[in-house]
Amino acid sequence: MPIHEKSLIRPENLREQENLVIEGMDVSGHWSTFIESRAVTDYNEALQEEIAALPGGENIHRCWQCGSCTNACTVNAVNPEFNPRYWIYLIRLGMEDELLRDKDIIWQCVSCNKCTYACPRDVVPEGVMKATAHWLELKGHTPKSPSMLFDEVFAGQVIKTGRIEDGLVLRDFFKRTGQPLNQPWLVAMVLGLVKRFPLAYLIKLGIATIRPDRTRGWGRARDAINEYAEEVEAQNRKALGLGAKGAK
């Protein structure tokens, strides 16, 4: 698979030259300046430390930019702008503004771990992607991504009852993201389900969405996890120099 690197030609770097004559030759038209010379004064020197402080980002300092992660990446094959190697480079240099250009796609990492498999330096790029997405949200650069909303719906249900019920997760997630349930592909699936599943099992599934299965005696585990989760959240916010949750 070819390596798709990020395009260096950006719209703001295109210049229109109406009357450009060099050594007697007319070279008027659109020119890309590729990279304009400039003094970068907006480094965030704490960027690498902040990402490293969040779960998954711990090994970012080990990267030596071989690009195996991007070459192996599932999402990169679908969208060439998705480039873990480049983001790790920007984070390590502290180039926050450059990183923020891609803030709306970093959450799209599918956790296939092909990068982690290919990485010769144990950077765990998959973890770095999750830490970076988390950082973007905590810092308020992006709203909560659909992926994070799904994680919260899912984790909320696991912590509450000890188990997951597929239909309930789907319903809660669609509700939280404001999506209608009557999408053509979903309707086709449900109709298929009704047609093929044994009636007794359909009834069981229906009951499960109203009264989901629980792990018996889960209460103490639930309380312990909730208490720990609050601690972790406070720790993460502190590492990023943010106040307690709710306080601005």
> With binding defined as CB under 8 A, does residue 142 bind other proteins?
no
Q: Which stretch in 20-28, 59-67, 155-163, 240-248 sits in contact with other proteins by CB under 8 A?
A: 155-163
> With binding defined as CB under 8 A, does residue 228 bind other proteins?
yes
> With binding defined as CB under 8 A, does residue 24 bind other proteins?
no
Give the largest Cα separation in the chain, rounded.
Answer: 86
Name the phi and psi angles at 26, rounded to 5.
Answer: -80, 115
The Cα–Cα gap between 10 and 35 comes to 9
Specify the residue, 11 or 180, whose C-beta has the smaller distance to other proteins.
180
> With binding defined as CB under 8 A, does residue 196 bind other proteins?
yes
CB 30 to other proteins: min, Å: 32
Q: Which residues contact 114 (CB under 8 A, 6 or more apart)?
A: 72, 73, 74
Specify the residue, 11 or 184, whose C-beta has the smaller distance to other proteins.
184
User: H helices of the chain, where?
Assistant: 47-53, 68-72, 74-78, 84-93, 96-100, 114-118, 125-138, 146-161, 166-176, 184-196, 199-210, 219-239
User: Which string of DSSP letters, residue by residue, matches 185-246?
Assistant: HHHHHHHHHHHHS-HHHHHHHHHHHHS----TT-HHHHHHHHHHHHHHHHHHHHHTT--STT
Name the phi and psi angles at 240, rounded to 5.
Answer: -95, 10
The Cα–Cα gap between 212 and 81 comes to 41
Choosing from 130, 132, 136, 138, the residue that interacts with other proteins (CB under 8 A) is 130
Between residue 50 and residue 109, which ones bind other proteins under the rule CB under 8 A?
A: 55-56, 74-75, 78-79, 108
CA 171 to chain centre: 22
> With binding defined as CB under 8 A, does residue 181 bind other proteins?
no
Choosing from 149, 239, 240, 242, the residue that interacts with other proteins (CB under 8 A) is 149
Q: Which stretch in 13-21, 35-43, 88-96, 180-188 sits in contact with other proteins by CB under 8 A?
A: 180-188
Q: Which stretch in 6-14, 27-35, 63-71, 171-179 sits in contact with other proteins by CB under 8 A?
A: 171-179
Residues that bind other proteins (CB under 8 A): 55-56, 74-75, 78-79, 108, 110-114, 116-117, 124, 130, 134, 145-152, 154-155, 158-159, 162-167, 170, 173-174, 177, 184-185, 188-189, 192-193, 196-198, 201, 205, 208, 213, 215-218, 220-221, 223-225, 227-229, 232
